[in-house]
Each structure stands twice: as structure tokens, then as C-alpha cells.
């Protein structure tokens, strides 16, 4: 068996998501399984170097995962020919400069989203990567979650008939730090540091809606800063300048309507932190991150409106869970494997920096819709 090594610069993975999902559960998991098969006689083995601004945190992460190499000198890493891929999971407002430097160094690019704080910069990264001839991809992890993969199966098998509408509910209660610590970093609530629920989450909603239900034609959105003051990691109170909730309706090119409530100020009483309710002419489905329930037309009850009596119908019992008829990989790992094959053997891969730019554009247009209090068409991204 031939083992081919591929070097990856991982910048900004000392945070929870970067360390857990991208490093431990993706690249190190690939190493633990003996590499990524490229064919019957060849595997690809990731070789990782950690990069960041805090040497002490990098050292702790490296030691915890038995990694030999880490550095605070990004330019030195970019100049090293042993590393052909640059991965970026930094805070959003640091991403454009670092990715641009990596492109100019001739590295293939894989990065978190949003890829920039504005569509112009996000599109610029795509154009620069194309001009440089490097391969590029953007994390769109939720497409490989079991619940959403089950929705795709239902759609492709014709279960829904004609899809009519989709209702998305996302979010949970993020404590303000005064009585209990926040579960999210404080920069998320500072617009001047790249914080914004709309900027963060609409990049997700764009690829989910586009890949599962159709292209987005127009959006009407209203945001809010429900919690005006929070306490940061050092125990200091600060004024929140970024939105922490958004309520949006998307009109798709195929006439499907999608409504999405997104909030870090909501207490959860639903099946999961993210749920998608899809109604079609032949059946409906409700999917969370991992589970999915269906109700076909033939099993749909006939409610009668009577607020003066308890309903005789148990509205939860009439749903059947879609079984796990296959093994589901970690969603981040699944996409990493696709991108690594794209770099190594030119396997097809379509979730590139242009797709990332379209996510940023949707957030930008939604923010404009909120500001101008009107529906906004999604223009072509030139």
C-alpha cells in the first residue's frame, strides 16, 4: 500500500469547533483510520501544523493530540513547500487577509464560513484563487448531517410530491454572562469585530436552502438585538452592537417559500437546536440534526377546529421516524475527505469560494432588507 502525505496548515483551530470538529474528529480521525483511500493501492495521510496567535494555547492543543508541529509565524508556514493546503477557522474579520496571503503563496484553500464580512471581499477571494490556479473549498458541513441527508433522500425519492413550503427553527438561549457564563465568544455580539447572527448563520441557510429546496430569488428579513448588554470572557460588561436574532422569509426560484427563525435568545421546545419542517402535496417531514420524521398523505389526520374541547388527535403520534439505513460519518470529516480527494486526485468538488461568497451575499442582502424594511431580490454575483 502506497501512502501519500499531504501537508495542511491549520490556522485558528484552538477554539472549540476548530479543535473538536476539524482537527480531532476530521483530520486526526482520518489519520487514526490509516489515511484516506484514494484507490485500491494508495492512501492519503494528512500531516498537520497548527498555526495561531497564542503559542501557549497552540502548545496545549498540540500536546493533547500528540502533534509535533505548531507555529505563530503564518508566513513561515506558507513558505514551506511541505504544506500544500491552508485551512482557516479564525474569527471572520481576520480571514480575508490570511486567505489572500495563502493564495499568493500558492496554497490550496479550505476555510470556514462566512469567508468574509462583505460580499465584495468574499468574491475577491474566489477571483484571486481562480487566477492563481489553486483549488478551493468552503465548509458547508450541515449538508452531511444525518437529518438533512434523510431529507435529501425523501426529496429525491419523490416522497413530498411538490414541495410547498419550509419552516426552519434554529437557536437556543445564550446566557448573557451576568449570572451564568456565555456559551459563545463575546465577539459574536460586536459588529465591529465581525459579529452578527445574520452574517454567521445565513451563510449556512443559503447552502442548505439551495442544495435541498432550490435557488433563492428574494428575501425579506428583520433582525434584532434582543439582549443589549452582555459580559465578556474577562467579566466586563459590554454593549452588544450585533444582531442576536433574525426572522426571514425566502422566496425560491421554484416558488417554494422558506421561513427561518434564527435566535440566540430562544428557549428550546422542539426536537433539536435546528429543525426543518417541509410540507409537500404528498407528505411532510420534520428533520433535526440527526433524526427525521415523516407523515405521508395517507396517514394525515383530519383535524376539526374546536377550541372548546381537548383535541382527540395526538399530533405527535402520527409521525414515523426515518430509519438509519446507512452509517453516517461526522459531517465535517465527510466534507474534508471530499476536499482532500479534490486536491489529491482532482475528484469533483463544487462547494468552493464562489459558493462561500454567495452565502455572504445573502447575509448582506438580508441586512439591507432589514435596514430598508422591504423585500430584496438576490442579484447575480458577478
Ordered by where they begin, the domains of the chain are: 2-140+331-352 (3.40.50.720), 142-325+361-376 (3.30.360.10)
Instruction: Give the span between the Cα atoms of 293 and 322, in whole angstroms.
Output: 6
One digit per residue, the tens of pLDDT, for the chain of length 382 reads 799 999 999 999 998 899 999 999 999 999 999 999 999 999 999 999 999 999 999 999 999 999 999 999 999 999 999 999 999 999 888 999 999 999 999 999 999 999 999 999 999 999 999 999 999 999 999 999 999 999 999 999 999 999 999 999 999 999 999 999 999 999 999 999 989 999 999 999 999 999 999 999 999 999 999 999 999 999 999 999 999 999 999 999 999 999 999 999 999 999 999 999 999 999 999 999 999 999 999 999 999 999 999 999 999 999 999 999 899 999 999 999 999 999 999 999 999 999 999 999 999 999 999 999 999 999 998 6
Helices (H), 213-352: 331-345
Q: Could you give the 3-state DSSP secondary structure of residue 176?
A: coil
Q: What is the CA radius of gyration of the chain?
A: 22
Helices (H), 65-184: 74-78, 95-104, 119-132, 146-156
Closest-CA residue to 351 (of 206, 157, 198): 206
Contact 273, 292 (CB under 8 A): no
pTM of the model: 0.94
Instruction: Give the span between the Cα atoms of 228 and 39, in whole angstroms.
Output: 55
E runs forming strands in 198-308: 216-224, 229-231, 237-239, 245-252, 257-263, 274-280, 283-287, 292-296
Amino acid at each position: 500500500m502506497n501512502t501519500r502525505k499531504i501537508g495542511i496548515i491549520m490556522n485558528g483551530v484552538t477554539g472549540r469547533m476548530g479543535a473538536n470538529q476539524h482537527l480531532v474528529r476530521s483530520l486526526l480521525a482520518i489519520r487514526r483510520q490509516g489515511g484516506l483511500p484514494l484507490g485500491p493501492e494508495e492512501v492519503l495521510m494528512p500531516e498537520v501544523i497548527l498555526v495561531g496567535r497564542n503559542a501557549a494555547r497552540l502548545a496545549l492543543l498540540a500536546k493533547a493530540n500528540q502533534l509535533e508541529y505548531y507555529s505563530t509565524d503564518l508566513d513561515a508556514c506558507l513558505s514551506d513547500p511541505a504544506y500544500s493546503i491552508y485551512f482557516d477557522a479564525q474569527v471572520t474579520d481576520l480571514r480575508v487577509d490570511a486567505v489572500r496571503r495563502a493564495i499568493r503563496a500558492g496554497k490550496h484553500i479550505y476555510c470556514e464560513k462566512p469567508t468574509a464580512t462583505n460580499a465584495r471581499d468574499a468574491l475577491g477571494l474566489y477571483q484571486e484563487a481562480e487566477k492563481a490556479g489553486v483549488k478551493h473549498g468552503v465548509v458547508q458541513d450541515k449538508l452531511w448531517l444525518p437529518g438533512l441527508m434523510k431529507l435529501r433522500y425523501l426529496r429525491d425519492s419523490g416522497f413530498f410530491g411538490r414541495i410547498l413550503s419550509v419552516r426552519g427553527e434554529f437557536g437556543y438561549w445564550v446566557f448573557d454572562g451576568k449570572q451564568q457564563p456565555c456559551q459563545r465568544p463575546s465577539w459574536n455580539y460586536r459588529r465591529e469585530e465581525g459579529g452578527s447572527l445574520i452574517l454567521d448563520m445565513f451563510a449556512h441557510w443559503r447552502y442548505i436552502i439551495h442544495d435541498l429546496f432550490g435557488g433563492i430569488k428574494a428575501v425579506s428579513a428583520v433582525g434584532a438585538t434582543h439582549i443589549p448588554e452582555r459580559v465578556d470572557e474577562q467579566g466586563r460588561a459590554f454593549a452588544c452592537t450585533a444582531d442576536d436574532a433574525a426572522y426571514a422569509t425566502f422566496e425560491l426560484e421554484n416558488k417554494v417559500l422558506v421561513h427561518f427563525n434564527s435566535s440566540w435568545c430562544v428557549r428550546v421546545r422542539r426536537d433539536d437546536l435546528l429543525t426543518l419542517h417541509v410540507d409537500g402535496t404528498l407528505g411532510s417531514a420534520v428533520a433535526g440534526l440527526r433524526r427525521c420524521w415523516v407523515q405521508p398523505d395517507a396517514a394525515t389526520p383530519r383535524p376539526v377546529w374546536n377550541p372548546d374541547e381537548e383535541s382527540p388527535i395526538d399530533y405527535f403520534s402520527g409521525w414515523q421516524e426515518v430509519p438509519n439505513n446507512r452509517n453516517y460519518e461526522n459531517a465535517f470529516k465527510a466534507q474534508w475527505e471530499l476536499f482532500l480527494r479534490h486536491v489529491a486526485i482532482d475528484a469533483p468538488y463544487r462547494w468552493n469560494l464562489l459558493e462561500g461568497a454567495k452565502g455572504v451575499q445573502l447575509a448582506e442582502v438580508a441586512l439591507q432588507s432589514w435596514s430598508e424594511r422591504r423585500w430584496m431580490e438576490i442579484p447575480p454575483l458577478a
